[in-house]
């Protein structure tokens, strides 16, 4: 499924209504066997500029400000809780909560012209919530330099530090994203769902606990119909037929 941020006039800002729409689109038909991968892209030269600052002025009350940040946190954590891989397809600038969105996706493919920044410090609003996703994707000193200076990373720097998984020329962005998506679609949805959930779970644990958890998950994986089908197909030298 393709989700396209489509408010280029507002630089695809994550207003409260945009965040609600994004949550709705992410959750739509999520249990369907047909849904295998979600791609988030955007219209216009800016992938996403982050929060709509007009919503964060003192004209709005604290309750509204809380709603905006709570909804944003909900959407960012939802991406990692979904049973299917989520790919960010970035062609342009991703700043603040827009950079957080890229960091929160499972995979990110960017065009060479893309840039990534957390410039909140320059306007007196430190990017503390984007820092949660950034600090979990990037080496600490790289994340802190971004957060303290607001200076952007180029696409190549973002690749080097692990914020994105691939950088390609702009005219190859669609093709590369589709290639990854199609490869994901060749696997069992139930196996991928188990694997994704386990990956994020074990990343938050110490080494011994992580191995204990994943050892059990490997055993559970073998009890799945698709776990047995995959092994049988391999032994019989045929293509597996997934039940998902």
pLDDT digits (tens, 9 = 90+) for 148-180: 999 999 999 999 999 999 999 999 999 999 999
Task: List the CATH code of the domain at 188-236.
Answer: 1.10.12.10
DSSP at 87? E
CA separation for the pair 142, 160 (Å, rounded): 11
pLDDT for 141:
98
pLDDT for 59:
73
pLDDT for 97:
98
Asked if the model's pLDDT at residue 60 lies above 80, the reply is no
Three-state DSSP at 93 gives strand
Domain ranges of the chain: 2-185, 188-236
Asked if the model's pLDDT at residue 114 lies above 90, the reply is yes
CATH superfamily, domain at 2-185: 2-enoyl-CoA Hydratase; Chain A, domain 1 (3.90.226.10)
Asked if the model's pLDDT at residue 58 lies above 90, the reply is no
Element (H, E) at 72: helix 62-81
CA separation for the pair 232, 234 (Å, rounded): 5
Mean of the pLDDT values across residues 119-146?
Answer: 97
pTM reported for the whole predicted model = 0.96
pLDDT digits (tens, 9 = 90+) for 202-228: 999 999 999 999 999 999 999 999 999
Sign of CA dihedral 164, 97, 138, 123: positive
Mean of the pLDDT values across residues 184-213?
Answer: 97
CA separation for the pair 70, 179 (Å, rounded): 34
């Amino acid at each position: 499924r393709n989700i396209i941020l489509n408010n280029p006039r507002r630089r695809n800002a994550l207003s409260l209504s945009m965040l609600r729409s994004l949550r709705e689109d992410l959750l739509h038909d999520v249990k369907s066997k047909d849904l295998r991968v979600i791609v988030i892209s955007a219209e216009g030269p800016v992938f996403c500029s982050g929060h709509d600052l007009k919503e964060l002025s003192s004209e709005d009350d604290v309750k509204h400000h809380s709603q905006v940040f709570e909804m944003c946190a909900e959407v960012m954590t939802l991406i990692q809780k979904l049973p299917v891989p989520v790919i960010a397809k970035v062609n342009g600038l991703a700043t603040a909560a827009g950079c957080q969105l890229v960091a929160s996706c499972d995979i990110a493919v960017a065009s060479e012209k893309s840039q990534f920044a957390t410039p909140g410090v320059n306007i007196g609003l430190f990017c503390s919530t984007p820092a949660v996703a950034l600090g979990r994707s990037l080496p600490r000193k790289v994340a802190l330099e971004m957060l303290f200076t607001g200076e952007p990373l180029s696409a190549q720097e973002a690749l080097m530090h692990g914020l994105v998984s691939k950088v390609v020329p702009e005219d190859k962005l669609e093709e590369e994203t589709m290639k990854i998506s199609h490869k994901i679609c060749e696997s069992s949805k139930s196996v991928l769902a188990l694997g994704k959930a386990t990956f994020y779970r074990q990343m938050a644990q110490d080494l011994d606990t992580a191995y204990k958890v994943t050892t059990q998950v490997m055993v559970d994986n073998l009890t799945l119909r698709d776990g047995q089908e995959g092994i049988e197909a391999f032994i019989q030298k045929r293509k597996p037929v997934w039940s998902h």
